[in-house]
Amino acid sequence: MKDITNFTPLRWGILGCGSIANRLGADIVRLGDHKLQAIASRDPSRAADYAAKFDVPTRHTGTNAYTALVADPDVDLVYVATPHNFHKDQVLMALAAGKPVLCEKPFAVNTAEAEIIVATARKAGLFLMEGVWSRCFPVWRRVLECIAGGDIGHARMLYSDFGFRAADLGPDHRLTGYDAEARLFNPSLAGGALMDVGVYPISIAQMVFGNPVDVKAVGVRGNSGVDENVAVVLAFAEGQVATATTSLQVTTPSTTTILGTSGRMEVESPWWRPKIFRIYRDGKEAERIEFEHVGEGFQFEAMEVASCLREGRTESCVMPLDDTIAVMRTLDAVRAQLGLKFPMEGC
Ligand SMILES: NC(=O)c1ccc[n+]([C@@H]2O[C@H](COP(=O)([O-])OP(=O)(O)OC[C@H]3O[C@@H](n4cnc5c(N)ncnc54)[C@H](OP(=O)(O)O)[C@@H]3O)[C@@H](O)[C@H]2O)c1
């Protein structure tokens, strides 16, 4: 295996040239010790546009684009930026080529897939991380320190939301007028609110409280079969409770509140790429804590990946693989209660 603990810069290979690849690319190009080295897309013109926009030296295109990318000797890290149903095979392909991998959320379609991927990476001794970028922001690192330091007493409850209006609401109270093939609505692409954005409040609740001992979910599935409006309640071992709401029908406030026995913390909207949080200690003035950043903030995830690689770590302690699997278990439990199975799961 190539030693990349000493790289400068870290050379990224982007697998899939869609929306998130562009958003992440815009933040990575500002980092001096990172380089967008190669882009892989089935579509040559999409790859050409991306390469021109971000000064990317290598384009892999056509039907063999992804295999060429993972085999590219100039790529240090593969970033899997495709819809959820492709993650497992593409991550396994990159690992088989000996490459460390950052894979977009949700990590896989279900726990069984996630366990296969994680076991493969661990056996190969290769770095692997789920791209839950929210966890990497300085705000969330400081919030965890404040909780551990007892700033709000014992943290006991959390509520968090992430939803957006993705189409119009029809007379049957289900979404209408959308492209049923599109990623968000297509069961074959493991779409739906939960998998697309509901994973965030669940992941953040589990980051704060650990793995849930009970999961309860209610929600509505739409005409394409995927979930459109969901509320999840999580219970934890020491009696803590969290609620996570997600939607494709409405745009939610995108705030997270953590309540403790002597105060609360509020992470300002959008909590999933935050700049500000406030600590309300009982009987005291609120304290406002701000971490300014440029761009959207994908640089924090990139920096976490780079520091793991530099230190020779195969897992991130910000987004550990055991947490990734635990979150997948919760997603499975929620989907089971909604009666939502994806076609690749044999429904
Ligand atoms: N971190 C975040 O804030 C964030 C935000 C949005 C999305 N995401 C995650 O990022 C991943 C990609 O989302 P996205 O919105 O970027 O997706 P997207 O734009 O719809 O698709 C990304 C790429 O995946 C490939 N692809 C898309 N549909 C395909 C299909 N039907 N068959 C084969 N390949 C297909 C295409 O690659 P080619 O270029 O090769 O054709 C496409 O360019 C998902 O896991 C999503 O949950 C994360």
> SS3 of 190, please?
coil
Whether residue 33 is found in the same domain as residue 86: yes
Q: What is the b/e burial string over 19-55, where b = at least 16 CB atoms within 10 angstroms of the residue's CB?
A: ebbbebbebbbebeebbbbbbbbeeeebbbebbeebe
Statement to judge: residues 27 and 121 lie in one domain = yes
Among residues 19, 34, 16, which one has the least CA distance to residue 93? 16
Ligand 1 interacting residues, C-beta cut-off 6 A: 16-20, 41-43, 46, 81-84, 104-105, 131, 133, 183, 189, 196
Ligand 1 pocket test, candidate residues 183, 196, 304, most atoms within 8 A of CB: 183
The CATH number for 78's domain is 3.40.50.720
Q: Give the pLDDT of residue 80.
A: 99
| 141 and 129 assigned to the same domain | no
Q: Which of 100, 133, 166 is the last residue of a domain?
A: 133
Domain count, the chain: 2
Residue 5's pLDDT is: 60
Whether the bond between 9 and the residue before it is cis, its omega within 30 degrees of 0, is yes
Instruction: Say if residue 187 is in the same domain as residue 333.
Output: yes
CATH number of the domain where residue 326 is located: 3.30.360.10
| 153 and 202 assigned to the same domain | yes
Query: Are residues 274 and 163 part of one domain?
Result: yes
**Residue 2 pLDDT:** 54
Q: State the pLDDT at residue 8.
A: 79
Residue that finishes a domain, picked among 133, 159, 192: 133
Q: Is residue 283 a part of any domain in this protein? A: yes
Given 133, 168, 195, the domain boundary residue is 133
Which regions of 222-286 does DSSP assign to beta strands (E)? 227-236, 241-247, 256-260, 263-267, 276-281
CA separation for the pair 181, 165 (Å, rounded) = 17
Pocket test of ligand 1: the residue of 82, 109, 324, 331 to mutate, having most ligand atoms within 8 Å of its CB, is 82
Contact 247, 164 (CB under 8 A): yes
Q: What is the pLDDT tens value at each position of the chain, 347 positions in all?
A: 555 566 679 999 999 999 999 999 999 999 999 999 999 999 999 999 999 999 999 999 999 999 999 999 999 999 999 999 999 999 999 999 999 999 999 999 999 999 999 999 999 999 999 999 999 999 999 999 999 999 999 999 999 999 999 999 999 999 999 999 999 999 999 999 999 999 999 999 999 999 999 999 999 999 999 999 999 999 999 999 999 999 999 999 999 999 999 999 999 999 999 999 999 999 999 999 999 999 999 999 999 999 999 999 999 999 999 999 999 999 999 999 999 999 999 85
* Contacts of residue 261, Cβ cutoff 8 Å, sequence gap at least 6: 152, 153, 154, 156
CA distance 71 to 67: 6
Residues 147 and 287 in one domain: yes
Q: Which of 332, 295, 268, 258 is closest to 106 using CA atoms?
A: 332
DSSP E strand boundaries for 3-138? 10-15, 34-41, 58-61, 77-80, 101-104, 128-131
Answer for the pair 130, 324: CB distance below 8 angstroms, yes or no. Answer: yes
Residue 1 lies in a domain: no
Boundaries of domain holding 100? 10-133
Position in ligand 1 atom list of the atom nearest CA 15: 40
Burial class (CB in 10 A: 0-12, 13-18, 19+), 320: middle
